[in-house]
Amino acid sequence: MIKKLREVPGYAFLGIWTVFSLFPLYFMLVSATNTSQDVLSSRLLPGGALFENFVKLFQAQDVLRAMGSSAAIALGTTVLALVICSIAGYGFEVYHSRGKDVLMAVLLLAMMIPFAATMIPLFQVFAKLGLVNSLFAVIVPAISTPLLILLFRQSSRAFPTEILEAARVDGLNELSIYARIYIPTMRATFAAAGVITFMTAWNNYLWPRVILIKNEVQTMPMLIVNLSAGYVTDYGVLMLAVLLASLPTVVVFLILQRQFANGITGAIK
């Protein structure tokens, strides 16, 4: 009995923080189905204005186009980042040499460079190349990150050397060993790296805001901010847009939560 009582503060703390964590999400969810007046009068039950909000939202903004841009950016970034960072991590670990260790240490320094300090010159370069307003310019700065390379390098330590030797004896060249043996063996790492890259790319705001100037070219995060910037905000419509902007990453998160956790903590092991 006393033992049980001792656990009460712990459960209470967990409970309070869980309510705090979930409430804003619940608020967003129900508000998407309510009119603006209902949102402001703090109605916390699902309402009947979902359809009406959808119509108003699609009249105000080209949601499908923004969804398409966001999807293209997030998927493009993920595919390219997985290829480029995995082969680099593999190269660092499997063909280990002192020179490569030095290079890795230098590349890791890039993690400490704030994006703010590279943003203006990056904008100037992409402007010179005529790539302002192109999704390509949004993707390029996100495809090679020290964190992903480190993640692939660390997990490549578990890649068995015997397989490598056997494949060489069988006459496979080095690139096919990577493509046909390494990738399938490291599925878990690829999933973890893929989830963090997708979520980061989908949610990124500052760089797309800088490089996508034309109003018609916008990502979902940009769309919701633009929607809130008008003189009169329709809160029901806004919460629906926020919900739509969050749905892809929340769904990915709920399905691949473990991979996401492994992705963000994996590089430290």
Partner 1 sequence: MSALTATKPRGDRRRLGTDRRHNLTGWGFLLPAAVLIVLISFVPMIQALILSLQTGRGTRLDWADPLWYNYQRLLGDEIFKQTLGNTFIYLLIQVPIMLLIALALANLLNSPRLRGRAFWRTAIFLPCAMSLVAYSLVFRTMFATDGFVNDFLGAFGVEPVNWLGDPTTARAVIILGLLWRWTGFNMIFFLAGLQNIDRSTIEAARMDGANSLQVFWRVTVPQLRPIILLTAIMSTNGTLQLFDESWALTQGGPAHASMTMSHYLYEISFQRNPNFGYGAAVSYVILILVAVLAFIQLRIGDERD
Please state the closest distance from residue 207 (CB atom) to partner 1, in A: 10
Which CA distances in Å does 244 have to 18, 34, 164, 197, 234? 23, 15, 45, 19, 16
Of the candidates 29, 206, 182, which has an alpha carbon nearest to the alpha carbon of residue 120?
206
Do 226 and 238 touch, CB atoms closer than 8 A?
Answer: no
Do 182 and 90 touch, CB atoms closer than 8 A?
Answer: yes
* Number of neighbours of residue 115 by Cβ within 10 angstroms: 11
List the interface residues with partner 1, window 147-176 (CB under 8 A). 149, 157, 160-162, 164, 174
Could you say which of 48, 58, 65, 110 contacts partner 1 (CB under 8 A)? 110
Give the C-alpha separation, 238 to 145, whole Å: 33
Residue nearer to partner 1 on the CB measure, 55 or 108: 108
Please state the closest distance from residue 129 (CB atom) to partner 1, in A: 12
105 contacts partner 1 (rule: CB under 8 A):
no
Please state the closest distance from residue 82 (CB atom) to partner 1, in A: 11
Contact pattern from residue 13 through residue 52 relative to partner 1, giving x for each residue in contact according to CB under 8 A and a dash for the rest: xx--xx-xxx-xx-xx--x-------xxxx----------
95 contacts partner 1 (rule: CB under 8 A):
yes
Please state the closest distance from residue 110 (CB atom) to partner 1, in A: 4
Give the C-alpha separation, 47 to 33, whole Å: 5
List the interface residues with partner 1, window 45-84 (CB under 8 A). 84
